[in-house]
Structure formats: C-alpha cells, structure tokens
C-alpha cells in the first residue's frame, strides 16, 4: 500500500497522475494537494481525499502528510518556462523554496520525494544532440536555474539525510485532459486543438526548432516506475533523461496532415519562446534510464497523433 501526496494535483501532470496513482494503489490514500482558488473538480475531487497544500507553506505540507500517513510526495508545483521568465521571483519561491519545504517535511516524516526536472535544466554549452545524462547544465532561464538547483538539492538530501529522492527530466508533455500553460513546448499541444477545430494554427516557433516530447501516458508511467525502481540498481537519482520522440513544427504539422489533410499552419514567432527553445537540446540520450530502471516509451509521434486527435474530438464533441 502507498499513501501519496500530489502537490499541484490540478495542473497538467497532476490531474492525470492523481487518477493514475488511485488506480495503481487502490487501497492507499492518494491525496490531491491544491492551492486555494484551484480546487480539484469532478472525478479528481470525487474519487479520493484532497487537501489544501500551498507548497510555499511548509505547515500545510506537514499537516497533509501527517493526516493521511503519506509515505511518498509527488511535487509537481512549478511555473513553466515562459511564465517563469515573467515572474522570476515567484518561480524561485515555488521551484526552490517549495522544494526545500517539501524535502524538509520528507526528512522529518520519512517520505520519498519525486520532483520533476526538465529539458529546461540544460542550456548553452550543453551538447544539443543526444544530450548525455551527465553533462554541462548552465541554463540561463530562471526555470532552468530552479530545475538544476532542484536536482542538486534533491541529491543532497539523499546523500546527507537519506531521503529517497528520485526524478526524471521531462521533455515537452503532450496531453488532452488538462492544458499546460506558460511552457515553451505548449505549441505541441495547442496544434492538435487547432487541427480538430479546423483552425489555422499560428506556430510560435520557427521551422527547425527540434525539442524532445512525450505523450502523457508515457510520462505518468515514467513518474511511477522511477519511484518503484529497485534502489540498488540506481546509479543516478536526480534526474534521469527520458524521451519518446524529437520533432520540429514542420514534422508534427506534416504528421497531423496525414490524418487531417486540410490542416493549415502559419508561423507567428514568439521571441521569448524561440530564445528559450534555442537554448534547449534537440534530442536527449536516455540510455541511463533504460539501463537503470528499464525505461521504455510506448508512444511515438504517429501513435500519439492518432490518439490525441481521437481523444480531443471526443472531449470537444467534434465529429470527424
């Protein structure tokens, strides 16, 4: 049995991870942690416990951990890359201050902690193709700086205090349940909404901008499998490169056009997002995750596209 607190349970990952964890551990308490004003609704609210947990408030984290006998915390609270550039102080407060609060509660109460890092933890100077697991990480965005700090702080808590911290560096995550919002890779979600609505998609990134991406079912599996992995096999902890695919706007739009032949895309560049994307890898090497805990993605661009189009048509009530 596992008792899990998901901090940020109403976000893009949290909404789906909470439900997935409830399926995975039906006898445990899977607590949906939310901030005031963003209470879980529908199935997330109805299918298990929830608690107000603002990650900047250590007492709220401790209270939820105590009340529900939590042994594992999924810390998903973060501002995504573009939003973080607009609010750098808040990005640090949530990304680093919030992580510190989480790790301190974990140290005192004996919890394991998962805090996702990102392809945003890399920057100029990082090899851009087949980016290795252990390499230069000198990001210039506040998002990236919080992610590298998070990786290092999490490793420190494991070395120094024996807290069981593990995580992955997520690529852009593509999903149809809850929207991302404020990320550099969001275009790869928005493009599917435009395709099913019959709208011309305005792409904020220029052709040739390659980034790693992953479909949400694979991301959820990665988050669960790394926390279930045999610790004796783990050489690394924070954070593992994981990826499913790498594409640029031309490749994804051409793939969509195979299923929506009249789909149209125009370029309307967003200089901030373009600059961020230009500082991130083109493609990651996730050999260490494959070797240390048998990571293997199930979706590629084609199977993801088929499912995204199908699921979005159902969600938006759009006939083919």
11 vs 183, beta carbon nearer ligand AKB: 183
Give the range of 13-21, 41-49, 114-122, 252-260 binding ligand AKB by CB under 6 A.
114-122
- Cα–Cα nearest to 137, from 155, 153, 119, 154: 119
Give the range of 43-51, 65-73, 122-130, 168-176 binding ligand AKB by CB under 6 A.
168-176
Report if residue 81 touches ligand AKB, rule: CB under 6 A: yes
Longest distance between any two alpha carbons in the chain, whole Å = 57
Using Cβ positions, the residue closest to ligand AKB within the complex turns out to be 183
Pairwise CA distance, residues 298 & 218, whole Å:
6
- E strands within 228-313? 240-241, 245-247, 265-267
Member of 72, 131, 137, 184 binding ligand AKB (CB under 6 A) = 184
Tokens in use for 264?
């149209």
Member of 15, 29, 118, 244 binding ligand AKB (CB under 6 A) = 118
66 vs 129, beta carbon nearer ligand AKB: 129
225 vs 270, beta carbon nearer ligand AKB: 270
Q: DSSP states of 90-123 as a string?
A: HHHIIIIIHHHHHHHHHHHHT-EEE--EEGGG--
Give the three-state DSSP class for 70. coil
Pairwise CA distance, residues 143 & 133, whole Å:
19
CB of 144 to ligand AKB, least distance (A): 9
Report if residue 8 touches ligand AKB, rule: CB under 6 A: no
Would residue 143 show up in a list of annotated catalytic residues for this protein? Answer: yes
Member of 15, 75, 115, 185 binding ligand AKB (CB under 6 A) = 185
Pairwise CA distance, residues 173 & 80, whole Å:
12
Member of 172, 204, 249, 281 binding ligand AKB (CB under 6 A) = 172
Report if residue 183 touches ligand AKB, rule: CB under 6 A: yes
User: Which residue is it, tokens 């967003």?
Assistant: 270
The size of the interface with ligand AKB (CB under 6 A), counted in residues, is: 12
Distance set, CA 12 to CA 33, 66, 76, 140, 162 (Å): 14, 26, 9, 24, 30
57 vs 83, beta carbon nearer ligand AKB: 83
CB of 118 to ligand AKB, least distance (A): 3
259, 306 Cβ separation under 8 angstroms: yes
Residue 318: how many CA atoms within 13 Å on its side-chain side? 17
Of 68, 143, 187, 299, which one is the catalytic site residue?
143
Give the range of 180-188, 247-255, 290-298, 308-316 binding ligand AKB by CB under 6 A.
180-188
52 vs 270, beta carbon nearer ligand AKB: 270
For residues 287-305, b (16+ Cβ closer than 10 Å) or e, as one string?
ebbeebbebebebebeebb
Report if residue 80 touches ligand AKB, rule: CB under 6 A: yes
Report if residue 119 touches ligand AKB, rule: CB under 6 A: yes
Which parts of this chain interact with ligand AKB (CB under 6 A)?
80-81, 118-120, 170-172, 180, 183-185
What positions carry a catalytic annotation?
143
């Amino acid at each position: 049995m596992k008792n899990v607190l998901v901090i940020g349970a109403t976000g893009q990952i949290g909404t789906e991870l909470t439900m997935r964890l409830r399926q995975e551990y039906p006898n445990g308490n899977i607590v949906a942690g939310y901030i005031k004003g963003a209470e879980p609704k529908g199935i997330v609210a109805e299918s298990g416990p929830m608690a107000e947990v603002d990650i900047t408030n250590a007492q709220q984290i401790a209270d939820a951990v105590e009340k529900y006998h939590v042994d594992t915390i999924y810390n998903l609270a973060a501002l995504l890359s573009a939003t973080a550039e607009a609010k750098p102080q808040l990005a640090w407060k949530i990304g680093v201050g919030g992580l510190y609060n989480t790790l301190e509660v974990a140290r005192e109460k004996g919890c394991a902690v998962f805090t996702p890092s990102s392809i945003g933890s890399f920057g100029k100077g990082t090899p851009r193709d087949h980016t290795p697991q252990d390499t230069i990480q000198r990001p210039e965005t506040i998002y990236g700086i919080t992610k590298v700090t998070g990786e290092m702080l999490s490793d420190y808590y494991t070395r120094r205090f024996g807290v069981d911290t593990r995580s992955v560096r997520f690529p852009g995550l593509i999903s149809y349940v809850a929207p991302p919002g404020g990320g550099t890779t969001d275009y790869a979600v928005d493009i599917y909404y435009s395709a099913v609505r019959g709208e011309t998609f305005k792409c904020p990134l220029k052709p040739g901008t390659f980034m790693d991406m992953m479909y949400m079912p694979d991301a959820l599996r990665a988050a669960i499998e790394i926390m279930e992995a045999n610790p004796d096999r783990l050489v690394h902890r924070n954070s593992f490169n994981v990826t499913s695919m790498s594409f640029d706007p031309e490749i994804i739009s051409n793939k969509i056009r195979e299923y929506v032949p009249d789909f149209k895309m125009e370029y309307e560049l967003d200089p901030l997002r373009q600059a961020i994307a230009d500082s991130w890898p083109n493609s990651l090497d996730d050999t260490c995750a494959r070797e240390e805990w048998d990571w293997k993605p199930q979706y590629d661009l084609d199977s993801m596209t088929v499912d995204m189009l199908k699921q979005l048509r159902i969600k938006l009530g759009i006939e083919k």
